[in-house]
Amino acid sequence: MLKSFLDKDMAQLQVTVIEAKNLKKKDTLTENDPFVEIYLDDKNYKKKTKTKQNSKTPQWNQAFVL
């Protein structure tokens, strides 16, 4: 789940990465280590959340100002 806010006066976009639910396992040997990448302007500007170890329902609650 994502939440966003655009401040036109400050020319900023705030994106908050909240959580993911029921992620499927990628392989049979290891657990998920999910993270989220946010790209702006065709990958010229990238932000990444912290990696959550061994989680199918990670919660980040991380805000990024772009």
pLDDT digits (tens, 9 = 90+) for 1-42: 878 888 888 788 899 999 999 998 877 888 899 999 998 876
| pTM > 0.85: yes or no | no
Domains parsed from the chain with CATH numbers: 2-65 (2.60.40.150)
Neighbour-count burial for 15-54, b at 16+ CB within 10 Å, e otherwise: bebeebeeeeeeeeeeebebebebeeeeeeeeeebeebee
The predicted structure's pLDDT at residue 20: 96
- pLDDT level of residue 52 (50, 70, 90 thresholds): very high
Residue 49 has pLDDT above 90, yes or no: yes
